[in-house]
Structure 1
Amino acid sequence: MINTNNFIETDFEWPTGFYSDAKHIGLKHEKLDFGWLYSEVPAAAAGVYTTNKFCAAPTAKTKEIVSQNHKLQAIIANSAIANSCTGLQGEKDVLTEQTLVAEKLNIEPYLVGVASTGLIGTCLPMKKIKKGIDGLSLTSSTDLTKAILTTDTKQKIISITFKIQGITCKMSGFAKGSGMIHPKMATMLAFITTDVAVGDDTLQPLLNELTDVTFNQITVDGDTSTNDMVLTLANGMANNEPLTNESPDYQVFKEALHFVLQKLAQKIAADGEGATKLVEANVLEAQSKMDAQAISKAIVGSSLVKAALFGADPNWGRIISTIGATPATYNPETIDIKINEFLVVKQSLAVDFDKEEVSDSLKQDVITLTVDLHDGQYDGQAWGCDLTYKYVKINATYSS
């Protein structure tokens, strides 16, 4: 459990030293589609990236420079066009973006990350990109949080404040993602900014660890994209002594980052394409953490479970059959299942419950499924959404 007593959620704003801007440059018909994020000083950077073998050019280049330098000072991002499966031209366009941004900001190209999301197989219209970069400025605008959206119906943003070494610090995160969310982040972009000073060799392993229990535990439709990326930038402008995992306030920072990542992951799951409900699966008392996470994610990823929840059908048989199809190790005779607060299975056998009452509870916006294996000491969580008619409609006409 995250200790939320150490931080306060606030209205969204950038941490000290971060600036942004966004424009409509014609990649979409009317909406914002292009922008950048900038730090006054080079920031410690960590990233986690798609596992899709067809890694998009901007994602691959950003992964390369963050892995080599562990620093970023700017990120240029666009929606509508993924710049994926675009060959040498796509790679060239990424380098051009880096160069143009670096020249305008008077920084080195290797300090510029690039992120794109949208339709696969189309090259960027570089005349529009160049003009767009020319028109960007350094402001406190938060419009970039809108410019990265594709089929999303809402912004996914969060800001918190907390104290490190007695200094008030801020962390702000924003993300996009609605479809193709599985199994390792998928068609999502997420950016976390903070003014805390963190050692380069501390931030990356921490992001890896926390991504496994947040973004990697959401699913919408079982598909994986080519462009997903999570970047965390820590510019140190709060002027604390750089944190390491031995620092007294390391746990405060870890819980703050965990909270921000988890909130963004939940917002993505709740805004799945066509979704009407956020679904949380909690698996208790498993033999291993891996088993707990695998079972919880299988439950929220099951099309049969998702469809039943859309229809407010308390069909627990779909939940238990999904558990049985996983490779996890557990005692199949000791399982309890709750739908919301209602016990529907005890020791792997049905119990009497009011089907109408449970069905009514499934009409709410957030549904909690709890599975207690009674077979160990490890817990796991995952988040997903229901499967609706609208999901099919959205994806039947995505490129046309």
Structure 2
Amino acid sequence: MPGAINQVDGGTITTARGFRSGGTYAGIKTYSDDKMDVGMLLSDTPCAAAGVFTRSSIVSPSVTVNRETLAGGHAIRGLVVNSGIANAGLGEQGYIDAKEMAVLASAAMGVKPEEVLVFSTGIIGVELPMTLIKSGVDETTLSETGGNELARAMMTTDTHPKEVGVTVDIGGTDVHIGGVAKGSGMIHPNMATMLCFVATDAAIDQGLLRTMLPEVADYSLNMLTIDGDSSTNDSLVVLANGAAGNATITAGTPEAEAFKAGLLECCVQLTRKLARDGEGATHLLVVEVTGARTSEDARTAARTIASSLLVKSAVYGADPNWGRLLAALGRSQAEAVEEKIDLFINGVCIMEAGKPIPFHRDAVVALMRGDEVTFRIALNLGDADATAWGCDLTEEYVVINSAYTT
């Protein structure tokens, strides 16, 4: 079926053909079994590339370097990432180290420094140990099965790696899209404190890819909230090497729409994995807003509800206190008419046309004790929809962040 999207069992970033990746432990983070802290990705051939980065006014120099690299017009061949240290808040030295990191990785990959993107994640205000970075890139072995190693090398407080792979029928050619992501805390709808790398073997016009990616981010990773904080290093990049052999995807075509749907599916799956692994989380929180007057209203309402500390606390306690949803909706400033609102908790109608519906409280409490809690708010004002993802707020979140650097 043209445009059909299929999941790849065990999918990861190297599901896309023509990509190799790997990771190693270089000593940047405290040692433990199976821990990694340096990773790399390399394409066999030059890639079209697009990136979306943090909206913070204070950024890691890795973000600055990547913005410059993508603006420079060079085809991209790969990327390097370290975890444990964010390379942020360090002034000029941070920029020097980010540039050197690209040089070191490019030498190990056999490509040019301007063909390599650089990423860091971890503690702010600590200089990168460049000797360890060098040993890490030199010791990393790249392979077509190394996606999991890259995903592990990105992790900070994550409890497990996040990986996904899908295939999409593009004009009769199976195109692969795979991705890895990291992020567990300091995540809010502003590109979150996360790193997300996506690779595809599709041939696609770079201008189209760069137009498409912010739109995809706005309905996936920018709808993710864990704790209301944003970061200095947030980055989402897509590399497309054309190894699938399809005709180059151009704007305004059915193939462009099919690819965009596949890219969105990949990013949504990674978003859900990030939300489920929020620091201290015990529940995945999903907020669906339907029937909004505008897309911006739908997105604003969903994000505001998902980020409400009162809502998140209610999810933790399996408390169907639906009044908190209405309160968050009201302060979101999205257009809402109380008399038109329908509200559901895990499929159970709680309010219809603005009036409370009697419900079996114990049954809803039992539903909310499952792994996933879904709130659906139908505004019944238009045809715009949006979904936001988050998690509950637990004591463990405070414990993790009260001793992050100690």
Task: Name the TM-score class by shorter chain.
Answer: over 0.9
Residue 282 of structure 2 contacts residue 316 of structure 2 at CA under 8 Å; is this kept in 1? yes
> Aligned-pair distance for 1:56?
0.3
* Structure 1 residue 319 corresponds to structure 2 residue 325: yes
Q: Secondary structure at the match of 1:192?
A: strand
Provide the C-alpha distance between the structure 2 equivalents of 1:346 and 1:240, rounded to a whole number of angstroms.
49
The answer for the alignment partner of 1:32 in structure 2 is: 36
> Aligned-pair distance for 1:35?
1.3
> Aligned-pair distance for 1:20?
1.0
Provide the C-alpha distance between the structure 2 equivalents of 1:187 and 1:193, rounded to a whole number of angstroms.
20
Residue 176 of structure 2 contacts residue 200 of structure 2 at CA under 8 Å; is this kept in 1? yes
* Structure 1 residue 58 corresponds to structure 2 residue 62: yes
* Structure 1 residue 124 corresponds to structure 2 residue 125: no
Show structure 2 runs of 5+ residues with no match: none
* Counterpart selection for 1:354 from 357, 360, 364: 360
* Structure 1 residue 17 corresponds to structure 2 residue 9: no
State the number of aligned residues. Answer: 398
Q: Secondary structure at the match of 2:100?
A: helix
> Partner letter of residue 119 of structure 2?
A
Q: Secondary structure at the match of 1:314?
A: coil
Provide the C-alpha distance between the structure 1 equivalents of 2:392 and 2:272, rounded to a whole number of angstroms.
13
* Structure 1 residue 133 corresponds to structure 2 residue 137: yes
* Counterpart selection for 2:401 from 382, 395, 398: 395
* Structure 1 residue 378 corresponds to structure 2 residue 384: yes
Alignment of 1:1-400 (within 5 A): 5-13=4-12, 14=14, 15-30=16-31, 31-69=35-73, 71-140=75-144, 141-142=146-147, 143-400=149-406
Residue 189 of structure 2 contacts residue 221 of structure 2 at CA under 8 Å; is this kept in 1? no
Provide the C-alpha distance between the structure 1 equivalents of 2:336 and 2:4, rounded to a whole number of angstroms.
35
> Aligned-pair distance for 1:72?
1.4
Percent identity of paired positions between Structure 1 and Structure 2: 38
> Aligned-pair distance for 1:4?
8.1
> Partner letter of residue 10 of structure 1?
D
Q: Secondary structure at the match of 1:395?
A: helix
Q: Secondary structure at the match of 2:192?
A: coil
> Aligned-pair distance for 1:42?
1.3
Residue 186 of structure 1 contacts residue 226 of structure 1 at CA under 8 Å; is this kept in 2? no
Structure 1 segments of 4+ aligned residues over 4 angstroms from their partners: none
> Aligned-pair distance for 1:368?
0.8
With normalisation by structure 2, the TM-score equals: 0.95
> Deviation string for 1:227-263 (max 9, x for gaps)?
0100000001112221112334222211110100110
> Partner letter of residue 249 of structure 2?
L
Provide the C-alpha distance between the structure 2 equivalents of 1:37 and 1:9, rounded to a whole number of angstroms.
20
RMSD: 1.4
In the superposition, relative to structure 1, how do residues 394 and 289 fare at CA in structure 2: closer, same or farther (>3 Å)? same
Farther off after superposition, 219-228 or 98-107: 98-107
In the superposition, relative to structure 1, how do residues 106 and 47 fare at CA in structure 2: closer, same or farther (>3 Å)? same
Residue 3 of structure 2 contacts residue 168 of structure 2 at CA under 8 Å; is this kept in 1? no
Residue 274 of structure 1 contacts residue 391 of structure 1 at CA under 8 Å; is this kept in 2? yes
Show structure 1 runs of 5+ residues with no match: none
